[in-house]
Structure 1
Amino acid sequence: MRCAECDFEYDLTTAEQVPVLIARYADQYADLLRGAPEALRRRGTPLVWSPLEYACHMRDVLLVQRERLLAARRSETPVAEPMGRDERADHDGYLQQRPADVARQLRDAAQLFAHALGRLEPKDWERTLTVPYPEVVVRSLRWLAVHTVHELQHHLLDIRRQSGHS
C-alpha cells in the first residue's frame, strides 16, 4: 500500500527499523520547531493545523501508539480507542504550547515508543490489536510501527508545505 499524497510505502518488512526512523523524524520536527513562535502557530487556512499543532499531534500519536503496543502485549484481544485527535488539539491547547517544550516532548515520546518497539521479540511483531483509524480493522504490531512512521512522514510534509519548504 502506498500513500498517494506523501508517497509513503507500507513495507511491513521494515518494522524493525522503525525505532531508528522515528528518532530521525523527531529530530526533524524539533528542528522545525526552532522557528519563530508566531509563524509556528499560524494556520494556512482555518481547517489546516499549524506546524505547532502538527508537532503536538505527532507527540501524542507516539505516546498513544506506545500505549497501544503495550496493550497488545498485555491482552490477546485489545481494541484501541480513537485518540480524539481534533478534541486533543482543543482540550490540550496545542496552539498555546511552547515550541521548545513540544520539541523536547516529541523527542521523549519517540524515545519511549522506540524503546517499547526495541523490546519486541520476533513473535511479538505479529501480535494484533483492533485499530480505529483509518477504518476499524485488526492490525499487527508490525503494521502499527510502520503506520506510525507514515504519520510522521506525512505530517512533516504538511508542515513543510505550510512553511514553503516542501
Structure 2
Amino acid sequence: MPIIPDEKDWTWVLSRPCPECSFDASTATPATVPGSVRSMLPRWRAVLRRPDVAERPDEDTWSALEYACHVRDVFSLFDQRLNLMLDGDNVRFENWDQDRTALDKDYANADPAVVSAELTAEGQQIAETFAGVRQAEWGRKGLRSNGSVFTVLTLAQYFLHDVVHHLHDVDG
C-alpha cells in the first residue's frame, strides 16, 4: 500500500532543533559533517540486519528497509546537489519526488544486503565530497525548486537532519 506523501517543508530545521529526533542543525560544521555521515553508517547496517527489516509498523509508515533505501538515495541526491553547487553559481535543484522514487525502485522489496552495501558506498561518497569542500566554498549557493536558498553549509545541515531523523524513525 502506498504511503501518503510527506509534503511538509522541513527547512525549519535550520533555525531550531527538531523536537522529534533532537537534531540541532547549528551543531553541524564543515569540520564535523564527514564524520557525522560516517558514524551513522554502522547504525544503518545494523538496522538492515534486523529480521523484521521489511515489515511496516503500520500501513502509513515505511519499513526500516524502505527508510534505508530512501537514505541511500538521499546520499546520492545530495552528493549530486553538492557537486552542482561546487561547480556552478546559484544552481537550481530539480524537484525530487521521493514517494515516486520509492515506488519506481520498489523499496519495499529490495534486498537488505544489497541496500546495506549501496547505502555504505553512497554514504562514504558523500562524506568524501563534503571532506573535499574548501573553506571558501561553504558559502556557495543553490536554490531548491520551491525557492528555498541553501549554502553548502545549510545544505549539509539539512541533509544531516534527514539522515539522523530517519535513524530515529527506525530506532537505529
Normalising by structure 1, we get a TM-score of 0.89
- Is the alpha carbon distance of 1:13 and 1:108 closer, same or farther for their aligned partners in structure 2, counting shifts above 3 Å? closer
**Match of residue 149 from structure 1:** 160
Query: CA offset at residue 13 of structure 1?
Result: 5.3
Deviation at 1:52, TM superposition (A): 0.2
Does 2:83 match 1:70?
A: yes
The DSSP-based 3-state class of the residue aligned with 2:92 is coil
The structure that is helix-richer by fraction is 1
Residue correspondence of structure 1 range 108-119 to structure 2 within 5 A: 108-119=121-132
Paired residue type of 1:148: F
How does the TM-score come out when normalised to structure 2? 0.86
Q: How does 1:80-119 map to 2 (within 5 A)?
A: 80-119=93-132
Q: SS where residue 32 of structure 1 aligns?
A: helix
After TM superposition, the runs of 4+ consecutive aligned structure 1 residues lying more than 3 A away are none
* SS at 2:55 equivalent: coil
What is the alpha-carbon distance in structure 1 between the residues aligned to residue 27 and residue 18 of structure 2?
14
Aligned residues, how many?
Answer: 157
Which residue identity does 2:164 align to in structure 1? Q
- Tell me if the contact between 2:86 and 2:140 (Cα under 8 Å) persists in the aligned partners: yes
* Aligned residues with identical type, % of pairs: 27
Give the whole-Å Cα distance in 2 for the aligned partners of 1:157 and 1:43. 15
The reply on whether 1:158 has 2:169 as its aligned counterpart is yes
Q: Which residue is equivalent to 2:9?
A: none
Confirm or deny: 8 A CA contact 2:75 2:122 kept in the other structure.
yes
Name 1:41's counterpart in structure 2.
Answer: 54
